[in-house]
Amino acid sequence: MANSNESDVLIIGGGICGAATAFHLAQLGERVTLLERGEIAGEASGVNAGGLGGLGWGHNPDLESHLTAGSFEIFKTLQLDMGYDIEFHASGGLQAVHTGQQWDWARDRVLRLRSEGYQAELLTTREVRAFEPEASESLAGFMFMVNRGRANPTKATVAFSEAAAALGAGIKTGHDVQAMTQQQDGSWRVRSDREEFQANTLVLAVGAWSKPVGDLLGIQIPIVPVRGQMWATEPAPPSIFHVIGSVESHFDWSQQSTDDSFPPGLTHHGEKRITRHLYGGQTRNGEIIFGGDR
């Protein structure tokens, strides 16, 4: 890049969205600069379960199908074709069914999904224990999603940034953005606590911090940070072989109404617990990690 402070596209945020965007734009031949106030994958993109995939493409792929099934293929390419060790594992995913009412809901959901061309199965606990021996016999059963897996979230995010840098993108960490100004010609001038940058296009990929960054531009972005919860064990011998979750939260969310004061997908409303949401698995080094409450 002739001048590393001038680019076609300037990306703010070094999480998975920012790093992946930098890589794909660099692939297209764009001059890209990415600014991250800390380190790549230093926040939410480095501390999550790393779950990937969804339901597959289906007969008529919608936006969610493109995002989930499409990204699954991208992660696969990153490891198998590009040589980055991101601990990608296309294991499939299991969702525990706890009650008879949840079983009926899961059965109807699987039938609908299969009619739409998605790959989903409803299995008894006995069937699941044949390939996931630690599954509790007290459970009613499991939904099995073939097109799911996981990757190490930190390694994957760093891999995208390294792949972008290999294509000429400027990846700059330790740059806290202080100001963003649009010029008369439509380009952007961005000032960090260390340097100034100029770009034709500005991309905000700051996740939970979108509101304060939006405030710098005088725009209201309706995204607020929510504290997630997780737990992890010491490394242990292999005992969990799939991405594991529960249908409980999805079942409960399907039954409740939401409004502006209570958006969907939360486990608590004020001090009141609405549902339990959990997902996780076992990493390559043996840690068992689960989280989900928000």
d(Cα 179, Cα 195) in Å, to the nearest integer?
11
Same domain flag for 158 and 28: yes
d(Cα 233, Cα 289) in Å, to the nearest integer?
7
Q: What is the token pair recorded at 162?
A: 């390294």
Same domain flag for 145 and 244: yes
Q: At what angle do helices 153-166 and 63-80 cross, to 10 degrees?
A: 80
Per-residue pLDDT, 226: 78
Whether 275 is covered by a domain: the verdict is yes
Same domain flag for 213 and 157: yes
Among residues 182, 217, 252, the one where a domain terminates is: 217
d(Cα 184, Cα 239) in Å, to the nearest integer?
60
d(Cα 161, Cα 81) in Å, to the nearest integer?
16
Domain that holds residue 197: 6-50+153-217
CA 278 to chain centre: 15
d(Cα 288, Cα 283) in Å, to the nearest integer?
6
**CATH code of the domain covering residue 273:** 3.30.9.10
Per-residue pLDDT, 287: 94
Instruction: Identify whether the C-beta of residue 122 lies closer than 8 Å to the C-beta of residue 106.
Output: yes
Same domain flag for 18 and 46: yes
Same domain flag for 285 and 157: no
Which residues sit opposite 180 in a β-bridge?
A: 190
Q: In what order do the strands lie in the sheet with 243-246?
A: 120-123, 141-145, 93-97, 243-246, 279-282, 288-291, 230-232
Angle, vertex CA 39, rays to CA 38 and CA 44, nearest 5 = 90
Same domain flag for 248 and 141: yes
Among residues 170, 194, 217, the one where a domain terminates is: 217
Which residues sit opposite 246 in a β-bridge?
A: 96
Instruction: Identify whether the C-beta of residue 12 lies closer than 8 Å to the C-beta of residue 204.
Output: yes
Whether 266 is covered by a domain: the verdict is yes
Per-residue pLDDT, 1: 43
**CATH code of the domain covering residue 178:** 3.50.50.60
Same domain flag for 231 and 135: yes
Same domain flag for 118 and 204: no
Same domain flag for 22 and 139: no
Task: Tally the domains of the chain.
Answer: 2
Whether 235 is covered by a domain: the verdict is yes
Per-residue pLDDT, 278: 87
User: From the CB of residue 83, how many other CB atoms can be counted at a distance below 10 Å?
Assistant: 9
DSSP state, residue 57: -
Instruction: Identify whether the C-beta of residue 23 lies closer than 8 Å to the C-beta of residue 213.
Output: no
Q: What is the token pair recorded at 217?
A: 């531009």
Same domain flag for 232 and 282: yes
Whether 55 is covered by a domain: the verdict is no
Same domain flag for 237 and 282: yes
Whether 73 is covered by a domain: the verdict is no
Which positions of the chain have pLDDT values less than 70? 1-4, 257-261
Whether 112 is covered by a domain: the verdict is yes
d(Cα 136, Cα 98) in Å, to the nearest integer?
10
Q: What is the token pair recorded at 182?
A: 């649009």
Whether 76 is covered by a domain: the verdict is no
Whether 64 is covered by a domain: the verdict is no
Per-residue pLDDT, 228: 78
User: From the CB of residue 88, how many other CB atoms can be counted at a distance below 10 Å?
Assistant: 23
Q: What is the token pair recorded at 156?
A: 């994957």
Query: What is the phi/psi pair of residue 262, to 5°?
Result: -145, 85
Q: What is the token pair recorded at 233?
A: 């064990």
Per-residue pLDDT, 2: 46
- Indicate the length of the chain as a whole number: 294
Per-residue pLDDT, 194: 96
Same domain flag for 243 and 280: yes
Per-residue pLDDT, 260: 59
Among residues 217, 237, 272, the one where a domain terminates is: 217
d(Cα 67, Cα 293) in Å, to the nearest integer?
23
d(Cα 236, Cα 215) in Å, to the nearest integer?
45
Per-residue pLDDT, 9: 99
C-alpha pair distances (Å), 90 with each of 79, 243, 257: 12, 9, 34
Per-residue pLDDT, 257: 61
